[in-house]
Structure 1
């Protein structure tokens, strides 16, 4: 009876250890994904103002060109 109880406790302990390892692995994956998302977001935030400035310059240039052609 004691041997069976010891086997059950050992199995239980091993299962808990495996589950804890899986949680640690999942948490590491989540942290990696969060870091990648944050880096991507920061990169996009840096690029958007440049694109907006380029679009504004292109719009200003086309308005000047239109004004020169049609005298408006």
Structure 2
């Protein structure tokens, strides 16, 4: 969730494991009348440890919106 009016590009977060994380909801999507800022459908986790996790993601967070990701593999 990004509750600010500012886009957060490449926001670094810890991930529970390696693999691909599909974007299952983006409330800023064009479908919902938003600006369509997002992650092009999903993100692959890096091997970079972050926030106590062995892997991490660099997520684009649209302004005043929610993005939900689901691990695919």
- Provide TM-score, normalisation by structure 1: 0.17
Question: Which is helix-richer, 1 or 2?
Answer: 1
Q: Hey, which of these two has a bigger chunk of strand by percent?
A: 2
TM-score by length of 2: 0.16
Find the structure with the greater CA-based Rg: 1
